[in-house]
Every structure is written in structure tokens, then in C-alpha cells.
Chain A
Amino acid sequence: MREAIASLRSAGSAQLLPATRLGGPMPWVIAIMVALTVLAMGGALALANFAAHTRAGLEGVLTVQIVEPDPVKRNAQVSRAAAALSAASGVAEVREVPEAELRGLVEPWLGAAATSDVVTLPALIDVRLEGAADAATLARLRGELAPVAPAARIDPQSAWLGPVFDTIRALRWLAVTLILLLTAASAAAVWLAAGNALDTNRETIEIVHHLGGNDAQIAGIFQRSVLIDAAIGGIAGLAFGAATLALLGTRFAALQSGMVESGSLSAVDWLVIALVPVAMTVVAVFTARRTVMARLGRML
């Protein structure tokens, strides 16, 4: 492996610069940056998947509450509302939530009182629309229910999770910002390393210039060195980051929560994550070239 890397380093460059001086800690720096970027990217993708899955599941779902203390009137309104909703266009499914199920849902919070008649609960009707619960559909259904069930309140389920989606969106932006910062930090590390390597090898570079070497040839040496360092670091960073993500995935899967599973990473997501070291390598090589060419431009 070491020989293969050495031959790559020397390919076409005639070993103009000592490889050991160019390498240094660069592979480690790139490995750490790639690992952190992979984790941030994995987190962002998982959050995106979770948000998309949850939104898709709730997009066409409505909850109709009949808030009427009189049980007789409440039941009558429930029947009329269910009938009106079943007849309404764009409604795929209507289900009256049984009172026992409702009391079971609130029992963890209300205790034994939930199962007695002491606490009056509103009646609920779950409605699944054929399409999304947009404002126009909601207004139309409210209009149709108002005459038959004046105590009815229609709420799209996605509205309840609005703050959650806002938080997820903020976290995703945070992850994107983190990725950009890590990329910038990697570029800065390469800029510093390339600058230091240039200073260290200034005498050799001057000789190469005097013998007719051009800037592109010298920059090519640095590019190759950074390419190899970034590739080695990138693979190591990807391995660590991907292993960490996979481990976290199995831990979350063990929770057996449908909500958590909806945030699992797809094959496409893993492909995107696998491109992180490639992108980081491109950034590193580009930065090295720009740095070297700019610095050489100040030499005669």
C-alpha cells in the first residue's frame, strides 16, 4: 500500500518535492472533517426523511372534534357530521373514533378519571382526504359541516406538528451550516498546509523555476499530494462516519418506534454520504491549486 501511494505521489512529478513534507497531518485533518461532515450529512438526511415521511402521512388527515357537553346532542351531531363528510367530495375515509378508544388515549394523562363520565370528552372523527388538506378544502368542509354540526371543529393534523416541522427545518439548516463550515475549515487547513509546504520547499521550487518548470507543473505536484492525502483521509473519515451512523441507526431501530424508523437512511442517502469524501477531495485539490498558483504568481 505504501509503495502504491509512493508511486502515485511520484507519478509524472519526478518526485520534485519530498512527499513526507507535503503530507504531514493533512490526511488526519481531512479524515476528521469528513467524519464530522458525514455525521452532519447523515443527520440532515435522516431529519429530512423523517419530516417528509411524517408530512406525507399527515398531509391529508383531518380531525373533526364535536365539542358539545350534552352527550345526546353530541352523538347526533357526530352522526350528521360523519354522514355529511362521507358524502362530501374529496373525502376518502371517515371514521368515528369510539369513545372507549378516546378515553384510552387520554388515560395516561387523566388517570382513572378518563374512564369515568366525570370528564366530558369531545367526540372525534378521523377523516382522510383524497388529496392534501389545503385551506380551500378545509373552508369547504367547514361550510358543509356548519349547518349539520355547529359544534364541529376541523383541524388538519399537520397543523399540530407545525412547531415540530419548524424545529426539524431549523435543525436541517443547522446541519447544512455545519457542513459548509466544515468544508470551509477543510479548505483553510489545505490553504495553510499548501502555504507551509511552499515555504518549506521554496528553494526547490526556485530551482525548478530556473530549470524551466512552470507554475502548473509545480501546482500539479501539490495537487497530487493533496489528492492522495485527501483521498486517504476521506476514506478513513467516511468509514468512521458511516460506521457511527449505522450504529446509531441500529440503536434507533431498537426503539421500535415507527416515527424514528421513518428517519432511516435510504440507499440514495448512503450514496450521497459516500460522495462527501469525493466532494471534500475536490475542494481540497481546488484549494491547493488556487493557493499554490497565487503564491507562485508572486515569484519570478
Chain B
Amino acid sequence: MMIVGGDIVRFDNVGLRYGTGSEVLSDLSFTLHAGRFYFLTGASGAGKTSLLKLLYLAQRPSRGAIRMFGGDVVTLPRTRLPTFRRRLGVVFQDFRLVGHLSAFDNVALPLRLSGVSEAELRQPVADMLEWVGLGTRCDARPATLSGGEQQRVAIARAVIARPELLVADVPTGNVDPEMALKLLRLSEALKRLGTTVVVATHDVHLLRKVPDSLIMRLDHGRLADPTGALRYPPRRQPAAMGT
């Protein structure tokens, strides 16, 4: 069920450390609203990937509380994690395609895991691959695809199941400018359908191409709030950061 307008993610004083090391994320408190587009920026090592891992439930925080889709995901039993993960779409930094599966099967994976029948998934998957420009490479294995093509498969896989929260880690780094714009248009389309989009990127030019996007900037594991997006009610993005 799509949540429109409400809080889709809420972090309260969240901290994350790996093992006995120092905290890579500290005192994160913010709210992501349904149907909004967020850019996550920050220098290398600022903690963007760690924050995304918390968002796509690959990691539990060391402290603090995280609520997602109305549920507490910190204390959530791991047996219930799949239910939450099926409401997410993730574009991994390293794409993480399944090497022995074709492009078609990689994109179809989230639908198959959700129990969609082969007959029902065939057309949407083919359409999605067509849309990302890989209609003729359906049977290609990831190893035979270029980096950009692999990323397009990863993007198609992330959005095929119409996620409520799309998390993308530097999704435009390896794609050509035309594809980058296409991806942003897709993200905007998803946003209009109520999907919350979080894109981690270094590309400052991208930030200007999405109107009404909000910026979350990480600095040494702490969150800056240049647009006021993280306060409630969120402050309107300054014009300079928009189109």
C-alpha cells in the first residue's frame, strides 16, 4: 500500500559503528516524506553508503530508532524484513547483478520473489528493459554488458516492482547524460506515483535537474541540512538548488 504525503522513513538519533570502531554515522535525525525526491551528497567517506545501507535494511543501527512504513525496523524480527524489503527498490553502487542470470531474469527477480507468475511478469520486464534501452539484450549475462548497461539493468530491477522507497547509490555515475536524464525522469515519474526517491551522488549538476528536490548532505557521518528538508515541516528548497 502506497503512503502518500506521510512520513515514510524516520530516523531518531541514529548512530552506526562497524564492530568496535568509531561511529561512521552519528546522531542522524530526519524524516523522509512520501513522494519526495532527496539527493544525498557528501564527500567520499562521509557515510553516504552506510546511510543507504540503513535505508535499504542491509544494516541495523548501533543506536537510535528507525521507523519505516510505520514500523520499527530496528527491533523488527529478521523474518519480517523481507516484507519491508519488497517495498524498497535499490540501485547498488556496484550494481550487484546476479552473474549467472540474464538481464531479463535479473530484472524479473523482485517480481518472482514476490510471487508474480511468469505470465504476468513477462511483458512488464520486457517493457522495462526496452525502456532502459536494453530490449535487444534481454538474454545477455551481466559479464557481457558494459558498465553503463549493467547499471541500467540494476535500475530496471530496482523500479520494476514499483517500490515505495527507491534508494540509489550514485546511479548516474556510469551512464551517459541522456540515460541520466531518462533516469531522473523515471524517478520523477515514480515520485508522482508516491515513491520516495533517495539518490546518493557526487554529481552536483544533477541536483539542479530535479525541481523540488531536497538535499541531505553528510559530513563526517553527521547530517547537514542545507535545504531545510529534514525539519518538519520541511522548508522549501532555495531557488538556486532547483531548476
Q: Give A contacts to B, CB under 8 Å.
A: 14-18, 203-204, 206-215, 217, 297, 300
- The interface residues of chain B lying within 8 Å CB-to-CB of A206 are 58, 96
Contact: B85 with A211, CB < 8 Å?
yes
How close is A300's CB to chain B, nearest CB, in angstroms?
6
Cross-chain contact of B90 among A204, A208, A210, A300 (Cβ < 8 A):
A210
- The interface residues of chain B lying within 8 Å CB-to-CB of A210 are 56-58, 85, 90, 92, 96
Given A15-B100, A210-B90, A300-B81 contact (CB < 8 Å): yes
Q: Give B contacts to A, CB under 8 Å.
A: 56-60, 78-79, 81-83, 85-86, 88, 90, 92, 96-101, 105, 108-110, 112-114, 157
Cross-chain contact of A14 among B57, B82, B109 (Cβ < 8 A):
B109
Contact: A214 with B58, CB < 8 Å?
no
Contact: B78 with A212, CB < 8 Å?
no
How close is B111's CB to chain A, nearest CB, in angstroms?
9
Cross-chain contact of B86 among A203, A212, A297, A300 (Cβ < 8 A):
A212
- The interface residues of chain A lying within 8 Å CB-to-CB of B98 are 16, 204, 207-208
A216 to B29 Cα, complex, angstroms: 35
Given A14-B109, A15-B105, A300-B59, A214-B114 contact (CB < 8 Å): no
Q: Which residue of A lies closest to B99 (CB)?
A: A204
Contact: A14 with B108, CB < 8 Å?
yes
Q: Which residue of A lies closest to B97 (CB)?
A: A207
Contact: A300 with B78, CB < 8 Å?
yes
- The interface residues of chain A lying within 8 Å CB-to-CB of B60 are 300
Given A15-B101, A207-B96, A300-B60, A212-B113 contact (CB < 8 Å): yes
- The interface residues of chain A lying within 8 Å CB-to-CB of B56 are 210
Q: Which residue of A lies closest to B114 (CB)?
A: A212
Q: Which residue of A lies closest to B95 (CB)?
A: A207
How close is B76's CB to chain A, nearest CB, in angstroms?
11
How close is A74's CB to chain B, nearest CB, in angstroms?
86
- The interface residues of chain B lying within 8 Å CB-to-CB of A18 are 100
Contact: B114 with A14, CB < 8 Å?
no
Closest 6 A/B residue pairs (Cβ): A212-B86, A214-B82, A212-B85, A14-B112, A18-B100, A213-B113
- The interface residues of chain A lying within 8 Å CB-to-CB of B88 are 212
Q: Which residue of A lies closest to B109 (CB)?
A: A211
Contact: A211 with B110, CB < 8 Å?
yes
How close is A17's CB to chain B, nearest CB, in angstroms?
8
Interface centre among B56, B59, B110 (most CB of A within 10 A): B110
